[in-house]
Amino acid sequence: MTQVFRDMRLYGHIAVFLLAVTVLGIGADLVGTLSSNFHHDFSIFSVVVSSLTIAAFIILNYWSCPLVELIVLFVLGVLWLATGSWSADIMGSIQCDAINKSQRIATKSESMSARIWCYEMTIIEVFSWMESALFVIFILILITLTTRAKVFGRYRAWSEPILELPWFSEYPAFGVGESEAGESMGGGSGYYSPRSVAGYPTGLPPQAYGMPPQMANGGYYVPQQPGHSVVIRPGNNERPPIIEQVPARY
């Protein structure tokens, strides 16, 4: 796994978790306090969205892959965007400090200060916008890192464990349980980790690559066979590229 990405992801999850817990607490207080005819649907919706966020992030911290995390982030981001829009529609142009301290709102038992309710709704609105903004940032970072990992040879990056993604200053890590040859312990991952100086993967039949590499001007070059194309694929973890000669397709 890549340590920097794991740490940055953990910090982001903690920020989302704290915001969601705050909204959950305020929403639960409003559900239990206010009467059913005073924005009761919004209070329940805020509780549901924050609860789903907490549950989803707990599960994602146990296991996740970029594709699954992208879907979860998108769905939760839309829900938090809806929460922020709904709360903004309820609040409108109300200024909490302009509300008279003596103004009260009827509750299930007695009443509560309208100013306190206004402040709580403002917190929900602000935190909802913050959550939706964080999810947009997470999605952009996730797409960038996964695409970058594919460029560096992790062709199955979208379905691999997300903790193997490299941060911007790192290269992709080997998959969990992969051997030096790039093969999975359980039967092969489809990746090669070439070790030779010429960039040819070891353990593969040389006829698949045509003539062996030759030295010229202090470097190596590959003689191309007639009717064949030279295919160069990036190696994993800063290893040499994989060079193949395959029959040309017409």
For 72-96, write each residue's pLDDT tens digit.
999 999 999 999 999 999 888 888 8
Chain centroid to Cα 43, Å, comes to: 28
Angle at 197 between CA 196 and CA 203, to 5 degrees: 15
Chain centroid to Cα 74, Å, comes to: 10
Burial of 121 (0-12, 13-18, 19+ CB in 10 A): buried
Q: What is the pLDDT of residue 24?
A: 95
Show the low-confidence residues of the chain (pLDDT under 70).
1-2, 171-222, 233-241, 249-250
> Which residues lie below 8 Å from residue 133, measured CB to CB, with a gap of 6+?
none
User: How many Å apart are CA 175 and CA 173, to the nearest integer?
Assistant: 6
Q: What is the pLDDT of residue 211?
A: 52
Q: What is the pLDDT of residue 15?
A: 95
Give the CA distances from residue 10 to residues 7, 61, 75, 106, in Å, rounded to whole numbers and listed in that order: 5, 8, 20, 42
CB 248 within 8 A of CB 229: yes
Amino acid at 176: V
- Please give the DSSP secondary-structure letter assigned to residue 100: -
Cross-strand bridge partners of residue 184: 178
Q: How many CA atoms lie within 13 A of 36 on its CB side?
A: 0
> Which residues lie below 8 Å from residue 132, measured CB to CB, with a gap of 6+?
77, 80, 81, 84
User: How many Å apart are CA 188 and CA 45, to the nearest integer?
Assistant: 46
Domain boundaries, the chain: 3-151, 206-247
Q: What is the pLDDT of residue 148?
A: 87
User: How many Å apart are CA 26 and CA 47, to the nearest integer?
Assistant: 8
Burial 227-244 (b: 16+ CB within 10 A, else e): eeeeeeebbbbebbebbb
Q: What is the pLDDT of residues 46-60, one digit of tens each?
A: 999 999 999 999 999
Q: What is the pLDDT of residue 111?
A: 78
Give the CA distances from residue 38 to residues 22, 31, 74, 93, in Å, rounded to whole numbers and listed in that order: 21, 10, 30, 18
